[in-house]
Amino acid sequence: MPTVTGLELISDAMIAAGQLSPGETADAGESTYALGLLNRLLDSWNADRVKVYSVEFSDRTLIPNLNPHLIGPTGSTGFVVDTRPPKIESAQLVLNTSTPNVLVPITLRDKAWYFAQAVPALTSSFPTDLYYDPAWANGKLYFWPVPTTAYAVRLAFWTLLAQVTLAGNVTLPPAYQDAVTFNLALKLCVGQKSPDALLVEEARKSLAAIQNLNTESPRIGTNDMGAGDGAGTFDWRDGSR
């Protein structure tokens, strides 16, 4: 994937929107406006799972008796990240008392479950559950029981698209440059003119390409082996039993 600058990225979008001709350069006001649209576009994609290209695993060390742990730009010690995660995908307790380490799943819970706990301050060396409150600017990690031992915890959260500057280099995963370019071009048309049909189609196809890559098929299963009662009499060829 080639590296481009933010200015080159927005210039391509402005050409696609019919606001620049190849070889022309946007003036300062146009560049600032387009850059703002671009960063808002990336910000909105960061909140949509099918536009997120990766889930990263990150090991953090629990702080005994702390509740909640803050994760974000000014988070708790060891939990500082550039932007607080929109969502926690999974969590595991890392037991390093053996070789290799043992990973124990931590059950993710919603706020209704956490608020229903009669003793939220219950303590233990081994937290079994986690409620994540995606507060801003730091998210809040409510481990339950509240951990009393500084074990590591492995969190899985979304990899976010970084904000862009005009002069800074931009490197995007495969298929993302077209998606960003054509969908930014659509945004540039708002309040200016109606986008042509080809631009609308290119924006749709390029966005579908990254969403197809990022969409996972759900796991399915049955309570019993096979398809359950009565399946043995069903003829799939004609639908009869």
Of the pLDDT bands very low, low, confident and very high (cuts 50, 70, 90), residue 92 is very high
Which residues 6+ apart lie within 8 Å of 81 measured at CB? 58, 71, 72, 73, 75
Q: How far apart are CA 6 and CA 14, in angstroms?
A: 12
Tens of pLDDT along 165-214?
A: 999 999 999 999 999 999 999 999 998 888 999 999 999 999 999 999 99
The distance from CA 7 to its chain's CA centroid, rounded to whole angstroms, is 25
CA 16 to the chain's CA centroid: 28
Instruction: Judge whether 25 and 11 are in contact, CB under 8 Å.
Output: yes
pLDDT one-digit tens code per residue, 35-84: 999 999 999 999 999 999 999 999 999 999 999 999 999 999 999 999 99
pTM for the full predicted model: 0.82
Residue 103's pLDDT is what?
A: 95
